[in-house]
Structure 1
Amino acid sequence: MNAFRVLMIAAALSTSSSLAATYTVKSGDTLYSIARATRVDAPTLMKLNRLNSTTIQVGQRLNIGGSAAPVVNRPAAPQPQAAAAPSRGGVFVRSAANRWLGIRYVLGGTGGGGIDCSAFTMNVFRSLGINLPRTAAAQWRSGSPVSRRDLRAGDLVFFNTMGRTASHVGLYVGDGMMANANSYRGRTVVEPLFSNVYWASRYNGARRVLN
């Protein structure tokens, strides 16, 4: 989200009557841009507003929980487009992924007692209000293809580990790293993606389900 969008949302909050703890969705807003501007994480916004997904509508009034903090208006220095924040949902994806790290790997497991690769990604996105299919092969057919050079935090990354396409899935978290439920290590971990020979040689591609 660029600096102009932050200022627009901040201005909307500062001019709300008596700083009421609500925000009215405007054209171009996403749940993640609103969460960043209001400092209320996306999962909390979803709970406060009983949202079943991250889809929001222009004109929709969102409860942002408590009184909005006063906004100090300062002139913003012009910023080039390249300086805009990378992924709108990257911060929230990494936060959600952290909640599932260190859990024991169990083939077919879907909960806190044990989890496999596709259940890991499914649970991370479920906490963001996005429903993914249960298997890695089905997740491979979700979203839109992303080239290796355009990867950003929140993209699903797929590997051929069993002689077939997309037999393993992980979650790209930025800086050349991915989070995944790793059967060899026996738990969910964050590890290098392309600097790891094993993963680099088995990489199939990526899909983007978080825009």
Structure 2
Amino acid sequence: MKATRILLTLLALTGTATAATYTVKPGDSLYSIAKKAGVDAPTLMKLNKLPSTTIQVGQTLNLGGTPAPAARPQAAAPAPVATGNATIRAAATRFLGARYVLGATGGGALDCSSYTMSVFRQLGINLPRTAAQQWRVGSAVSRRDLRAGDLVFFNTMGRTASHVGVYLGDGMMANANSYHGRTMIEPLFGNPYWANRYDGARRVLN
């Protein structure tokens, strides 16, 4: 019943039985709205003919349909997690293969923090520019509670959070790797280099 009340609060029904809308509130991102509505971000963009993931407070979004009665909220509960993982992986893989250049922010080249900025921009979230600044956003996450979309941080230069990547689930992360000279997906704790330099993680996706 609690899940049903939350879902009904999020969905403001229009005049028909087949359409539902949501008004963007401060702190919302396209990703978080899509997750709560049980759809993925690309579908939400298509429904609303959005050219990017950027949304505005007060904007009304079409969510594509009302929930089915009774059992639907419980039956659909696992779906947003799987959809979220796929959306995060799609955003992360979009920039794979870009050259690593310290201080670069685009044009075919990125560094570690501009890579995470680029990934999260696709999810409607603007991150600060440096790894140290990104270390101070969101909420701390323990290693055992990591989930796809968490920022993972490492001490690679003798100071906390000198490197950052995106956790993708299943023990893998995506990052701009200076040693290999490109953005790539690689093991997190399965790689002794990263495991020995791990600082912690921050969650910016609700």
When normalised by structure 1's length, the TM-score is 0.73
Residues 43 and 138 of structure 1: CA distance in aligned 2, closer, same or farther (over 3 Å): farther
Q: Give the conservation status (yes or no) of the 8 Å contact 2:45–2:51.
A: no
**Total equivalences in the alignment:** 199
Residues 35 and 139 of structure 1: CA distance in aligned 2, closer, same or farther (over 3 Å): same
Alignment partner of 1:37: what SS?
A: coil
Alignment partner of 2:114: what SS?
A: helix
Displacement, 1:105? Answer: 1.0
Distance in 1 between the 2:76 and 2:47 partners?
Answer: 28
Q: Does 1:23 align with 2:21?
A: yes
- Aligned residue for 1:124? 119
Distance in 2 between the 1:39 and 1:162 partners?
Answer: 36
Cα RMSD over matched residues? 4.0
Displacement, 1:42? Answer: 5.1
Of residues 149-158 and 76-85 in structure 1, the stretch that sits farther from structure 2 once superposed is: 76-85
- Aligned residue for 2:62? 63
- The superposition leaves residues 176-210 of structure 1 with CA deviations (integer Å, 9 ceiling, x where unpaired) of 10000011111111110001100000000000111
Displacement, 1:113? Answer: 1.6
- The superposition leaves residues 99-131 of structure 1 with CA deviations (integer Å, 9 ceiling, x where unpaired) of 111111111111142001000000111122111
- Aligned residue for 2:174? 179
Q: Percent identity?
A: 59
Residue in structure 2 matching 1:107, options 77, 83, 102: 102
Q: Give the conservation status (yes or no) of the 8 Å contact 1:35–1:45.
A: no
Q: Does 1:207 align with 2:202?
A: yes
- Aligned residue for 2:50? 48
One-letter code of the match for 1:155?
D
One-letter code of the match for 2:16?
S
Counterpart mapping for 1:66-81 below 5 A? 68=64, 76=71
Distance in 1 between the 2:100 and 2:90 partners?
Answer: 20
Residue in structure 2 matching 1:32, options 13, 28, 34: 34
Residues 201 and 72 of structure 1: CA distance in aligned 2, closer, same or farther (over 3 Å): closer
Gaps of 5+ in 2: none
